[in-house]
Amino acid sequence: MRIASAILGAAMILLVLVDAFETIVLPRRSSRRLRPARIYYIFTWRRWASIARKINRPKRRENFLGYYGPLSLLTLLAYYAAIIIFGYALVYWSLASAEAPGAGLTRLGYDLYVSGATFFTLGVNDLTPRSPAARAFTIIESGLGFAFLALLIGYVPVIYQAFSRREVTISLLDARAGSPPSAGELLRRHARDHGTEDLQALLRDWERWGAELMESHLSYAVLCYFRSQHDNQSWLAALCAVLDTCALVMVGIEGACKRQAELTFAMTRHALVDLSAIFISKPISESYDRLPPDLLIRLRSEVKAAGFTLHDDEESNRKLREYRRLYEPYVLGLSEFLLFRMPDWIPPVAAVDNWQTSRWGRERSFWGNVITEGSPHTRQP
Give pLDDT tens digits for 128-166: 666 777 778 888 888 888 888 887 778 888 899 999 999
Q: Is the pLDDT of residue 311 over 50?
A: yes
Kindly report the CATH number that applies to the domain delimited by 2-155: 1.10.287
**Residue 193 scores a pLDDT above 80:** no
Q: What is the mean pLDDT of the chain?
A: 84
In this prediction, residue 269 carries a pLDDT of: 96
- Using one digit for the tens of pLDDT, what is the confidence trace for 34-92? 788 888 998 999 999 999 999 999 899 999 999 999 999 889 888 999 999 999 888 88
**pLDDT above 90 for 357:** no
CB 337, CB 329: distance < 8 Å: no
Give the number of other Cβ atoms within 10 Å of residue 114's Cβ: 27
pLDDT band at 367 (very low <50, low <70, confident <90, very high): very low
Whole-angstrom Cα distance, residue 215 to residue 274? 10
In this predicted structure, the answer to whether residue 363 has a pLDDT above a threshold of 60 is no
Contact by Cβ (8 Å): 147, 122: no
7 has pLDDT over 60: yes
User: Which segments of the chain belong to CATH 1.10.287?
Assistant: 2-155
Residue 324 scores a pLDDT above 90: yes
